[in-house]
Amino acid sequence: MSLKSINPTKTKTWSKLKDHFNDIKDIHIHDHFISESDRSKQLSICLDNFHFDFSKNKITSKTISLFNELLNEIDLKSSIEKYFKGDEINSTEARPVLHTALRANDDEKLILHGEDIMLQIKKAKEKIQLFSESIISGDHKGFSGKKILDIVNIGIGGSDLGPSMVVESLSHYKTRLNTHFISNVDGDYLNQILDQVNPETTLFIIVSKTFTTIETLTNANTVKDWFLKSACEADISRHFIAVSSNSDKAVDFGISLENIFPMWDWVGGRYSLWSSVGISISLSVGYEKFNELLEGARKMDNHFRNSIFSENIPVIMACLSIWYNNFYEYETHAIIPYSENLKSFGKYLQQASMESNGKHTDRSGKLIEYQSGEIIWGQTGTNAQHSFFQLFHQGTKIIPSDFIGFCESIMGNKNHHDILMSNFFAQTKALMLGTRGENIDSNHKVFKGNRPTNTILIDKLTPSSLGSLISMYEHKIFTQGVIWNVISFDQFGVELGKKIAKNILKDLEDRDFSDHDSSTKNLLNKYSSTD
């Protein structure tokens, strides 16, 4: 059963939120702290090793109460249950959305089309574990009898962004293996990676649901040709594995059937790192750490599914984004992690959020007349402070931001970590307070403050806490989609460019550009003239 189609702007509560917005929109955040002595306590949520402080926002307790009304009016609770139970909430593709099942307890049951998919998941996880352990231990050797030293993951979109982000974030926990990622169909970059590895000691993972993705297969075939300069066709089975639902094409490529890992149509690409797509993670940090990542996500799943809305971190985050996008008309949102290990986290969230909720039609297929989707961007602190924070503090644009920090460093260097975290705490205070109360002799030096932030303070960056962090944003995105009344799990917007690119590729081969507009035609003529 699909989700209800309810235009949020036509609800009774939306009108109340508009009135409330007009009442408080000009109140400085700091004034709320002055009038509310326990504000930080009332507007904070603690969950295990997570502390979420949303008190530095342009809201009051009434704002949260009204959003609670809205969530009840659009029946968010029912939507969450459909999400977890496997209803076909991706209604345009008639698919359930069950990445949460990938990290559920193994003893749970989830019946889909008459079959318990938890048995499939358990089997896949066991296969990942056995294969990972054979590579890491050195039992699985390359064609010349040498141990595997390097892993190269070949995929694009969700088959790359999630696993590469996690591997980078958890680099402290890495095994003896070095992991590389090839996504862009950029031959220069591909060859740079190949220059770093040895065909005798490298394992290649081809990740493509259909095994037809043009970028992935182009890269895979180039890698295969490179490999065969040193090896023979029979050696492919020792050095190439696939994550795909199209086993026939993978076998045709030369990959042995036992080295093909499953993909399911009830897991979208941008939510697939928890599945066999995450085998690069398991190889990089070991299966035990991969499983801890899943367990951390499960903790956040349980929190999201079972907590009341006013004490639900992903739900509150989603409501705040609606508040700023649809009432204040702030269109962007920055992700600022104070850990260099998380330098790709914002890039990962760009796809997760913008591909999910960048939609112009509602769930019934009608064009929407309100803003949906956030423009996600960011960088790690303290680098960001010396880059774009000038605009944050004194620019005319207001950019709500999430600050992500850790109480304890991974390596235990307290001096460095104290300096890092003093900046973390200082920035959210400065963005909120500005230079209020100070005697400033020039407008150039004035900071107005009143810039909203969320503070996410986590005990330590571990596989478990990273799993919870990713899951938290996944559920925020889901909740946003429910409120905006869009389908968050299809991505038809990526198809048009791919279709045109396929046609242009043929035109480049034929040297016939007559069917194109004058601009594209001139550009193609310029490009082809360099051949």
Which residues does the annotation mark as catalytic?
355, 386, 498
> DSSP string of 217-271?
HHHHHHHHHHHHTTS-GGGHHHHEEEE-S-HHHHHHHT--GGGEE---TTS-GGG
**Closest listed residue to residue 328, CA positions, set 29, 3, 1:** 29
Q: How many CA atoms lie within 13 A of 204 on its CB side?
A: 33
Cα 44 to Cα 403: distance, rounded to the nearest angstrom:
14
Cα 390 to Cα 309: distance, rounded to the nearest angstrom:
35
> DSSP string of 383-401?
GGGGTTHHHHHHSSS---E
- Give CA torsion, residues 156, 161, 163, 165, to 10 deg: 150
Helix pair 12-24, 61-73: axis angle to 10 deg: 160
**DSSP3 helix / strand / coil % (the chain, rounded to 5):** 55, 10, 35
**φ, ψ (nearest 5 deg) of residue 448:** -70, -25
Q: Which two tokens stand for residue 243?
A: 């994550």
- The DSSP output letter for 98 is -
C-alpha 318: how far from its chain's center? 15
Cα 401 to Cα 378: distance, rounded to the nearest angstrom:
9
- Asked if 346 and 404 count as a contact pair (C-beta separation under 8 A), the reply is no
Cα 446 to Cα 443: distance, rounded to the nearest angstrom:
5
Residues 6+ apart with CB under 8 A from 384: 334, 336, 378
Q: Residue 471 to residues 226, 302, 467: CA-CA distances in angstroms?
A: 38, 10, 6
**φ, ψ (nearest 5 deg) of residue 15:** -65, -40
- The DSSP output letter for 353 is I
* Burial grade of 17 (CB within 10 A; 0-12, 13-18, 19 or more): buried
Cα 252 to Cα 424: distance, rounded to the nearest angstrom:
52
Cα 316 to Cα 479: distance, rounded to the nearest angstrom:
9
Unique residue bearing structure tokens 């460019």: 497
Q: Which helix (H) or strand (E) holds 375?
A: strand 375-378
